[in-house]
Amino acid sequence: MTSDSHVDGNALGGVLMEVFGREMTGARGRCASCGSVGPIGAMLVYRSAGDVMRCPTCGNVVVVVATIHERTRVHLAGMTWPETNQ
Amino acid sequence: MAGTAVLRRLTWAIAEVVDRVGETPRVQSLTFDVPDWPGHLPGQHIDVRLTAEDGYRAQRSYSIATPADGTRVTITVERLEDGEVSSYLTDVLEISDRVELRGPIGGYFVWEPARGGPLGLIGGGSGVAPLMAMLRARVGAGSAVPVRMLCSWRMAEDVIYAAELAAIASEGDGISITHTLTRSAPEGWSGRRGRFDREALSQLTWPPAMEPLTYVCGPTGFVEVVASVLVELGHEPRRILTERFGPTGG
Amino acid sequence: MSFVSRGFRRRQEPDAPSDRVPPGQYVTHDFPVLSAGPTPRIGLDEWRFEIIGQVDKPRGWSWQEFTSLSAEDVTVDIHCVTKWSKLDSRWHGVPVDALLDGAKTSADHVMAHSYGGYTTNLPLEDLTGGRAWIAYEYDGEPLEPEHGGPARLLVPHLYFWKSAKWVRALELRDTDTPGFWEGYGYHNYGDPWREQRYSGD
């Protein structure tokens, strides 16, 4: 098994939906680092102390989800949202 | 944005276990009755949350294995060796027990007949669950979308939904299903052996020129290999959708 | 009264705190791999380790130079903020004291930088006095990439997110700035014995 163990943006679907009040994995996000745009569900998610979502093109961090004292915070570290899909 | 078509907020619902099916020695399908369930699309998942007496909580995501069916939602759970949540669901939960869950979740890894095809479904182990929802939707809707499904299992006793898949394949209604066993095969196994490598995928999947929509689901390593081979074979990356389970499914 | 799942209990109970096990931790015999990003693959011919920043003479070593330095075996307990502790883990590496030897600095703070972009901040004092190493062997073997190889920072008296994998530089600084996890709400210092997991603990 590869040690580069990551999952897809789908894995954060619940958290993102809770925070934004709508389905987000089908929405497209723009990486603030390289500018590439793609579905959030297709981004790479690394799970460790928190969840780190990275751009599948350049690898930079786009979103960090950290649960601190039972409060979950979604940090839009390097993503902008050009559109949603409804 | 089209502001009025907003999905309802995602809240935890208390659902009742209404059915359980033993698929293999380690895998079960559990059906829940979820009050006010709004329906779902094939490929979406639910989050299941368990709470112990002392307040400790554990949560995992499970793909829904069936197309929308009123308030009924079915997931397929593999009991993982150190699985805190999976072993509770398979070993402790009983019919009429209640469970907290929320959903449906997911807008990226979804397919419905209106999306068309040809449809490629490639799954490894319990990654076949969301693909099963898609396949069942295709069959149940009387859709004509042609399907090529590839399923990778370690051994014959790991094959989930074996009888149903065989029945669907034998209908010959534009759906072909190929299984492969990667670790060992029983005597008399006439099917494929070994992983889906480049040669197997080039033979078994839709030709890129047909521009299929392909859904790949399973452990991260499996999905990585399959997706990158498909791209090498000339498939448009945007038409390859993936759901990686990662090393810890639950 | 919130919903309780009949018959559910946590699989891993915290071990009773002792002089070896900080509060809220459980002992594991595995070595879980947790990472904020992909495993960098660094060739030994391109690898370098540097001391940079507020220091009179920045210094650096190639792999050959680094592994020729005097190194030591250490056996330490390590504690991850995700609650597992691993006792008696065996490492081999160069004490940070030796790497800083002779360096003149007025800095009180350090930012550790890793290949792949990870960062974590520590007081300079916590890297000295025999409490930190740059380790390149684990359990008698070369440190595997998934565990931070070719070399990682090892600071066992703090939560293990401070022991930066794939370390490439220690930057000495006059001011303290949060590193990766510290910037997302994790504790700035991270003492497992005071259970300093999150900011404000």
B21: domain CATH number is: 2.40.30.10
B7 contacts on A by Cβ (under 8 Å):
17, 22-23, 86
Does some domain include residue A55? yes
C84 contacts on A by Cβ (under 8 Å):
none
Does some domain include residue A36? yes
- Tens-digit pLDDT profile for residues B144-171: 999 999 999 999 999 999 999 999 999 9
Residue B6, pLDDT above cutoff 60: no
C-alpha distances out from residue B10 to A22, A83, B76, B112, Å: 8, 20, 22, 22
Q: What is d(CA C148, CA A19) in angstroms, rounded to the nearest whole number?
A: 33
Q: What total number of domains does chain B contain? A: 2
Residues B129 and B227 in one domain: yes
Provide the domain limits for residue B70: 13-105
Provide the domain limits for residue C156: 46-194
Residues B117 and B240 in one domain: yes
Does some domain include residue B159? yes
Judged by a CB distance cut-off of 8 A, whether residue A57 touches chain B is no
DSSP assignment letter at C159: -
Residues B117 and B238 in one domain: yes
Provide the domain limits for residue A46: 7-83
Does some domain include residue B3? no
Residues B215 and B150 in one domain: yes
Residues B95 and B136 in one domain: no
Residues B95 and B70 in one domain: yes
Residues B100 and B128 in one domain: no
Contact B87, B79 (CB under 8 A): yes
Residue B247, pLDDT above cutoff 70: no
Question: Of B105, B128, B143, at which residue does a domain stop?
Answer: B105
Does some domain include residue C106? yes
Does some domain include residue B225? yes
Q: What total number of domains does chain C contain? A: 1
Residues B98 and B130 in one domain: no
- Tens-digit pLDDT profile for residues C156-192: 999 999 999 999 999 999 999 999 999 999 999 999 9
- Tens-digit pLDDT profile for residues B60-103: 999 999 999 999 999 999 999 889 999 999 999 999 999 999 99
**Structure ipTM:** 0.91
Q: What is the pLDDT of residue B9?
A: 66
C90: domain CATH number is: 3.90.420.10
Q: What total number of domains does chain A contain? A: 1
Does some domain include residue C156? yes
Residues B85 and B190 in one domain: no
Does some domain include residue A25? yes
Residue B250, pLDDT above cutoff 60: no
Does some domain include residue C11? no
Q: What is the pLDDT of residue C14?
A: 84
Residues B82 and B52 in one domain: yes
B27-33 and B72-78: which strand pairing? Answer: antiparallel
C-alpha distances out from residue B222 to A1, B59, B121, B203, C69, Å: 9, 24, 13, 18, 42
Does some domain include residue A1? no
Judged by a CB distance cut-off of 8 A, whether residue A66 touches chain C is yes
Q: Say what the pTM is.
A: 0.90
Is A47–B246 a contact, with Cβ atoms under 8 angstroms apart?
A: yes
Residues B101 and B119 in one domain: no
Question: Of B67, B86, B105, at which residue does a domain stop?
Answer: B105
Residue type, B193: R
Neighbouring residues of C43: CB distance < 8 A, sequence distance ≥ 6: none
- Alpha carbons within 13 angstroms on the beta-carbon side of residue C163 total 28
Is C5–B84 a contact, with Cβ atoms under 8 angstroms apart?
A: no
Give mean pLDDT, residues B120-141: 97
Q: What is the pLDDT of residue C31?
A: 94
Is B100–C3 a contact, with Cβ atoms under 8 angstroms apart?
A: yes
Does some domain include residue B7? no
